[in-house]
Structure 1
Amino acid sequence: MHTFIFSIVFSVSVSVFLKLARRWEVDVAQAIAAGYIAASALCLLLLRPSLGTLLAQSAMGWGILVLLGVLLPAVFLVMAAAVRHAGIIRSDTAQRLSLVIPLAAAFLIFGESMLPKKLVGIALALCALGCLLQRQEQAVEPADTGRRALWALLGVWVGYGVIDILFKQMARLGAGFTSTLLLSFVLAALLIFGWLIARRRTRWNARSLGAGLLLGVLNFGNIFFYIRAHQYFPDDPTLVFASMNIGVISLGALVGAGFFHERLSRVNMLGIVLAIGAIVLLFPK
């Protein structure tokens, strides 16, 4: 049970970090760059991927890895924007609803069969997303902020969904997950550092880089304990899947409302309820 709790806490802690980044005067892009260095080191130390076959990837495998290297830091930046403009509750829920995208892709693109229950779950998840994107009419905020929140939430939903598809496709190519994860982290670090160096206005500061190491630990902790949960319950992936997704949405709602006083409209709250219902319907066999 502790693996579930740790994974959920680490996942929500990433959102809390992104929420507090501006208050701490942390440059999020620099923090993400340093975070992927920390995550790479932890992956190498704790997951111990096979280094002998690390670079033995097919052309398609390298293509997927490059896409992951670009998308991982890019979607992290989008998640930071979503947390800043839309709050932890809506951002975490949108991230968890991204599971709909690989399921829909499996059905529409890869020709896999789809049970009626899962089709209903996908429809419910889309309704939940629509509710989460609904702005509070009584909220006093510039229209531009509302548009940024909407686009950031959509970016989180699409971005994490596409990343999930890429990881699944990499697994189908026969690459070991831990090796793929390490290479993805390393490429992500190299690309975002290259982007920051290319930007002439980047002003490096120790606070952002140091905070990024903490971000990397939190991000990797979520992944590490999620993998451990699957290892402890190899015959019950449904338990892991449900506990993680519903747990993150529930804890995110408690933290967002309790510590950051985030206010949700009735439509937003309906979206969270629909999201949990969709996850229940989308349980894997």
Structure 2
Amino acid sequence: MLMLFSAIACSVAVSVLLKLARSHNLQIAQSILVNYAVASALTLLLLKPNLAVLAEPSIHWLLLISLGILLPSVFLIMAKAVAHAGIALSDAAQRLSLFIPLLMAFLIFAEPLNMSKFAGIALALAALMGLIYRPTKSARKNTKQAAWVLIGVWLGYGVIDVTFKQLAKTGAAFSASLLASFVLSGCLLLLWLLVRKTKWHPASLAAGIILGLLNFGNIYAYIRAHQTFPENPTLVFTAMNIGVICMGALIGVALFKEKLHRVNVLGIALAVAAIVLLIPY
């Protein structure tokens, strides 16, 4: 259970760091860049990928390049979501993205849709509406922006999940694919920053080390949790997603005084219910 709790804690800690970044005037794109360098190094050290597979003609570089673009882009959207909508709603939107691969499997790949999955997808959509809801008389100027970035988080992480699943279907080794996507993400983000003639900010680069440790820690602990409970992957899947939503909501409200409308709270509750119904069997 230690690995499972560590995975949940690291995931929420990433959101906390993104929340603190704005108040400390950090250039989050630079932090994300260093994050990928750290994550790449840790992948080599701890997961020990077989780099030879990346030279095989069967490797799907189009999918890997897509991940190289998607990963940093969605990370930046997540940072905006945390800044404008808060940790509680951003983490819930991220975890709700799991229903997109299921919907794609039904619509594109004609996989069967049972009543449990249908109800889960319906609840997930209702939950998303609850998360992005803002009172019509809200005085906040960034109401529309908060809603759009939450949708961006939900859609972005869902597309990333679909891309990783498609990559897995090609038979690509997970650790080697993960390393390649991290390296490509870092290279493309570096190129983007150089084109923009970015002025480097030491504090932001240093924060990227912490971000990389937390980001990889979440992945590594989640893998180890599945290895610890090989006979019960449902437990890990459910606990991870619900744990992140609940811990994110508690920290957002308790530490950062995030204000949630009762419709937002209902959205979080529906997200938990949707995850339970969408458990893979």
TM-score, normalised relative to structure 2 = 0.98
Runs of 4+, deviation exceeding 4 Å: none
Q: Does 1:52 align with 2:49?
A: no
Please report how far the alpha carbon of residue 167 of structure 1 lies from its aligned counterpart in structure 2 after TM superposition.
0.4
Q: Is the 8 A contact 1:136 1:264 kept in 2?
A: no
Matched, 1:283 2:275: no
Structure 1 residue aligned with 2:121: 122
Counterpart in 2 of 1:196? 193
Q: Secondary structure at the match of 1:9?
A: helix
Q: Note the C-alpha offset of 1:130.
A: 0.4
Which residue is equivalent to 2:130?
Answer: 131
Deviations 1:62-101 (A, max 9, x none): 0000000000000000000000000000000000000010
Question: Is 1:237 equivalent to 2:233 in the alignment?
Answer: yes
Distance 1:264 1:228, change over 3 A: same
**Which residue does 1:21 correspond to in 2?**
21
Identify if the C-alpha distance between structure 1 residues 280 and 74 changes in structure 2 by more than 3 Å, giving closer, same or farther. same
Deviation at 1:58, TM superposition (A): 3.0
* 5+ residue gaps, structure 1: none
Is 1:85 aligned with 2:94? Answer: no
Q: Distance between the aligned counterparts of 1:46 and 1:270, measured in 2?
A: 40
Residue in structure 1 matched with residue 31 of structure 2 by the alignment: 31
The AA in structure 1 aligned to 2:181 is S
Letter in 2 for 1:276: V
Residues 93-129 of structure 1: per-residue CA shift (max 9 Å, x gap)? 0000000100000111111112111011000000000
User: Is 1:12 equivalent to 2:8 in the alignment?
Assistant: no
Is 1:175 aligned to 2:183, yes or no? no
The Cα shift of 1:57 comes to 5.1
Contact 1:133 1:150 in 2 (8 A): yes
Structure 1 residues 47, 126: closer, same or farther in 2, change over 3 A? same
Unaligned runs of 5+ in 2: none
- The separation in 1 between residues aligned to 2:32 and 2:172, in whole angstroms, is 25
Mapped to 2, the partners of 1:237 and 1:114 lie a distance apart of 21
Taking the TM superposition and a 5 Å limit, the aligned residue runs for 1:137-148 are 137=136, 139-142=138-141, 145-148=142-145
Partners of 2:69 and 2:55 in 1: CA distance: 18
Q: Secondary structure in 1 aligned to 2:190?
A: helix
Structure 2 residue matching 1:264: 3-state secondary structure:
coil
Q: Post-superposition shift, 1:137? A: 4.4
Q: CA deviation at 1:139?
A: 4.1
Asked if residue 187 in structure 1 is aligned to residue 169 in structure 2, the reply is no
Deviation digits for residues 9-29 of structure 1 (CA, Å, limit 9, x no counterpart): 000000000000011221000
Distance (Å, rounded) in 2 between the aligned partners of 1:91 and 1:176: 30
Correspondence 1:154 to 2:146: no
8 A Cα contact 2:53 2:173, kept in partner: no
- 1: CA distance, partners of 2:146 / 2:58: 39
3-state DSSP of counterpart to 2:260: coil
Query: What RMSD in Å do the two structures reach over aligned CA positions?
Result: 1.0
TM-score, length-scaled by structure 1? 0.97
Corresponding letter in the other structure for 1:234: P
Aligned to 1:213: 209
Q: How many residues align?
A: 281
Q: Distance in 2 between matches of 1:55 and 1:196?
A: 28
Amino acid at match of 1:157: W
Does residue 94 of structure 1 match 2:93?
yes
Superposition deviation, residue 227 in structure 1? 0.6
Distance (whole Å) between structure 1 residues aligned to residue 254 and residue 144 of structure 2 = 25
Contact kept, 8 Å, 1:89 with 1:256, in 2: the verdict is yes
Query: Aligned residues: percent identity?
Result: 56
2:65 aligns to what?
Answer: 66
Preserved contact between residue 57 and residue 175 of structure 1 (Cα < 8 Å)? no
